[in-house]
Structure 1
């Protein structure tokens, strides 16, 4: 069993996410936010970042983000080269695949559909499915529970420090990738069991 993070791991939504945040901040607060701060929020629930910056405007920022993100997803979403074939080969080798993300269900389902990855996923855990979110292990454990898998025989793959922490907290092998939102040095400092710099590296780690 391999569980994947979504944004920045399976699908390239980083540009879309950053642009959506900046649209919300400029529309509601009249200014942009630091991009590195925004990127550090990716992998966590949207409202968490908005509340940390402007609690009084968090709900308006959230709704503004969602509207712009929805309108621009198809235009700005990108595929990571090699991910589709990797997932196909994993499935062909008898590996069951899930995704566990802090993204809302609607946008998450849209992302995997637009990139064609939904055909490979046995289950998709989204923000609405658990009351706790990464680095809490709840989303990962729910994915395992749905497929009858044990943490000790499973891995979680993600591009952020919270992904590595969530894997550890779940008792799963932690695989960090460096092509997403997280700073490579920060992901490495979280000490994943495997650090993959390319999809080829990830393939070697998961398939040998």
Structure 2
């Protein structure tokens, strides 16, 4: 895979209208970031490949890399190449930071979904395995930050998805005590598993890194294929 691509803006076009007349299905919605709200999959894969080429002199299979998305970087590198993990991690971070603005994109309608949720009184948080700095950079570039009340990033917890700790911390920071009355939205199997382990409802989106059959196999509360469908699930009409 090459490291360059046309500068993107938004992808997977699917319009999202206003939230008038819609009642939230859940009063709290927590979102994954990569592959759910931010189209960073190409950036992530390119960053991994750059790190592997630079440090070990070869690329890794893209399907393998995509299966790591949702896990903390250092954990993925340590499991794959423990002897090179620190160098891979540092190389990845430098290249990723330098190329985020060029390669990141928003999913068409995702920001509007967040805006509609906030307008309807829903509390909105992000729980991600990205580092805080990287997550804030991505959210600011895409204009998501103004709609998100709470961010839980990699440094905030010792345990990470599929462990529910990051999601439960997001609820704690929102001062919401009932996971059963909240939903976690993500694109990967680890997202659904984390949401279930937290006692939350789960919505799997199919436009990210996850494989549809694998997502269906772990039985999320809902599976959606467009941001318009996501809006309808979170803010049903009537």
Same fold (TM over 0.5): yes
User: Which of 211, 221, 226 matches 1:198?
Assistant: 226
Q: Deviations over 1:94-122 (max 9, x none)?
A: 00100000000100000000000000000
Match of 1:175 in 2: 203
Alignment deviations for residues 136-190 of structure 1 (CA, whole Å, 9 cap, x no partner): 0000000000111120110000000000000000000011010001111111111
Q: What is the count of residue pairs matched by the alignment?
A: 208
Question: Which is worse superposed, 80-89 or 183-192?
Answer: 183-192
Matched, 1:86 2:113: yes
Paired residue for 1:152?
180
2:168 equivalent among 128, 141, 148: 141
Match of 1:37 in 2: 64
Q: Distance in 2 between matches of 1:184 and 1:200?
A: 18
Structure 1 residues 161-170 or 50-59, which shifts more? 50-59
Looking at structure 2, the residues matched to 173 and 154 of structure 1 have their Cα atoms a distance apart, in angstroms, of: 6
* Residues 1:19 and 2:18 aligned together: no
How far residue 48 of structure 1 moved from its aligned partner, in angstroms, is 1.5
For 2:91 and 2:164, the matched residues in 1 are separated by 29
Give the number of the structure whose alpha-carbon radius of gyration is greater: 2
Among 80, 100, 108, the alignment partner of 1:73 is 100
Offset, 1:5? 0.2
What is residue 63 of structure 1 aligned with on the other side?
Answer: 90
Q: Report the TM-score, using the length of structure 1 for normalisation.
A: 0.99
Structure 2, unpaired ranges of 5+ = 1-27
- Establish whether residue 108 from structure 1 lines up as the match of residue 122 from structure 2: no
Partner of 2:13: none
| Higher-RCO chain (CA-CA 8 Å, sequence separation at least 6) | 2
Which sections of structure 1, spanning at least 5 residues, go unmatched?
A: none
Determine helix, strand or coil for the equivalent of 1:141. helix
| 1:80 Cα deviation after fit | 0.3
Counterpart of 1:3?
30
- Pairwise CA RMSD: 0.6
Ranges of 4+ aligned residues in structure 1 off by more than 3 Å: none
The reply on whether 1:164 has 2:200 as its aligned counterpart is: no
62, 65, 74: which is aligned to 1:47? 74
Provide the secondary structure at the position in 2 that maps to 1:7. Answer: coil
Describe the SS at the equivalent of 2:36: coil
Q: Which among 117, 142, 145 is matched to residue 118 of structure 1?
A: 145
| TM score, norm. by length of structure 2 | 0.87
